[in-house]
Chain A
């Protein structure tokens, strides 16, 4: 398979790069000084694209690769892939579900605890020697708070299962009600937000869910409400979120994703009721390796004409 050209859209993981290089002719798109020349040079050998949450396969890229057969995403989210175009052209698409579910759910709970119990702030308090001058302020209890989840897919369910162990009542919104769960369903995000203490975004990003967290939802969540976003930055109307936090109309936020990563609104840096992470939802050694193995597994299966492991299209 060493003659098969695989285009990697951006630097994502060293282990994945190594493994791809062993098996294929790996082409690193991010090193190209002139992207269109690069594509023109290699277009006839590129049969696969490996993308991720930052760089996927949009219509333009797909159109410029006439021999493209498969897009294997190093992510579970598919918002950076033009799925309709792939379907139209018979291009296969795979992603990395399940192997990253635990990590993202763990981080959601970690963010909730870090925001409510002000873990990062109190760690800074100790390290700057302030404890000698007085105790830290009281924070807010996590156990028993109502958790509202947007999207009850693999990740949403994993968050729910964990939060339940902290005796958190679970409410949710999703496109359709899931009667097999015992959680309380709300037919709109605003109603969900009005009826929970902690709102977690765990759905996929599509045209319908873009800015699903808007001013109305933020107002409904309110002064004591906390927003946790482990989905995509574009799930949230970021300027509205920032002003709500700065003006104390929202209780707090734990954010792993932002609209224009790696840029993060600087107005958030001075707030003690937010925790800001650099899109590390799946950022563990164990999970990145499992994701990489799945990308490789899917590519090998495709080129060996075997069934794909985790096909989307």
Chain B
């Protein structure tokens, strides 16, 4: 398959690049050797596969400029950077990396909730700054037993629920439709969910409907003692509204792995002690990155061998 040209949209994981390079003719979009228009002119007809991720996927423009594109294999479970309609229209296959990253993202959601409520990062900074000698740290807030509201009860949302339950957290959720076979409390409206939980966790896919699903109304409903955890996409949240709510003390706190304009993070958050800010690391462990990469490779190999795709989306 070394004559099959695969376009990688941006640097994502050295192991993935190596493995792609071993098997295919890997073309790196970020190579400074040519400008974008020139690049596409030279290579566009050869490219049969695109490997994208959460930063750069395959939008309509890219798909249109690759006339022989047959498959988009995303190094992510999120599909918001792929023009799925265009792919459907052109008969282009799409795969992603579900399941292998579910645990890591769920672990991070719980980690962020614990870090925010128990002020773990602030305490660590307190010790390293030599402040403990001068006096004890203040009190934080208990996590066990707090009610957890989950937006989106898919693989990740369910994994978060399973973990939170063991801490005695009552679980409620909002999703497009009620899920059979769960005892969790369903809210058909996200504002009601926010009003009835203490920790609101965003775990749904980003689509046109869920863009800014966490808006001023939801933030107000979550309130002074409420905590927002976002391990979905930055665009799930109206970021300026979130920032002013936190700065003005109208929201209890936030644990954020994603932001609207990564890697830019609103600087007004940097001084706050009731937020934890991490750089989109939801699935960024050695183990999971490798598993995701292996899944991308396996999907591509299966496709080009004429075998069934492992994790097709369309």
Listed in ascending order, the chain A residues whose CB lies under 8 Å from chain B are: 102-103, 105-107, 109-111, 113-114, 117, 119-120, 122-127, 131-132, 135-136, 138-144, 161-162, 164-167, 261-264, 269, 275-280, 283-288
For A162, what are the chain B residues with a Cβ–Cβ distance below 8 Å? 166-167
Our pick among B265, B278, B287 for the contact of A140 (Cβ within 8 Å) is B287
Of B20-28, B119-127, B211-219, B241-249, the one contacting chain A is B119-127
Known contacts being A103-B142, A119-B120, A280-B140, is A141 close to B114, with CB within 8 Å? no
Tell me whether A125 and B115 are in contact in the complex, defined as CB-CB below 8 angstroms, given that A141-B288, A264-B127 are known contacts.
no
Contact call A117/B107, Cβ cutoff below 8 A? yes
Judge whether B136 and A278 touch: CB under 8 Å.
Answer: yes
Query: Which 8 residue pairs across A and B have the least CB separation, nearest first?
Result: A113-B111, A110-B114, A143-B103, A102-B144, A165-B166, A131-B263, A262-B132, A276-B127
Q: Choose one: A136, A276, A287; the contact of B124 (CB below 8 Å).
A: A276
Is there an interface contact between B279 and A135, defined as CB atoms closer than 8 Å?
A: yes
A119-B111, A140-B286, A275-B124 given; A126·B277 CB < 8 A:
yes
Q: Contact check: which of A117, A280, A288 meets B285 at CB < 8 Å?
A: A117
Contact A164 B277 (CB under 8 A): no
CA of A253 to CA of B166 in the docked complex: distance in angstroms? 24
Verify A262–B284 contact, CB threshold 8 A. no
- B contact set with A: CB distance below 8 Å: 103-104, 106-108, 110-112, 114-115, 117-121, 123-128, 132-133, 136-145, 162-163, 165-168, 262-265, 270, 276-281, 284-289
A110 is contacted by which of B111, B133, B138, B281 (Cβ under 8 Å)?
B111
* Chain A residues closer than 8 Å to B140, beta-carbon distance: 280, 283-285
Beyond the given pairs A106-B144, A143-B104, 13 more chain A to chain B contacts, judged by CB atoms under 8 angstroms and listed by A's residue number, are A102-B168, A110-B118, A114-B120, A114-B124, A119-B121, A126-B278, A132-B264, A138-B286, A140-B286, A141-B288, A262-B132, A279-B136, A284-B142
Beta-carbon contact of A275 and B285 below 8 Å: no
Q: B141 near A111 (CB under 8 angstroms)?
A: no
Shortest beta-carbon distance from A203 to chain B in Å:
21
Q: Decide yes or no: A277 and B287 within 8 Å by CB, A132-B264, A164-B166 being known contacts.
A: no
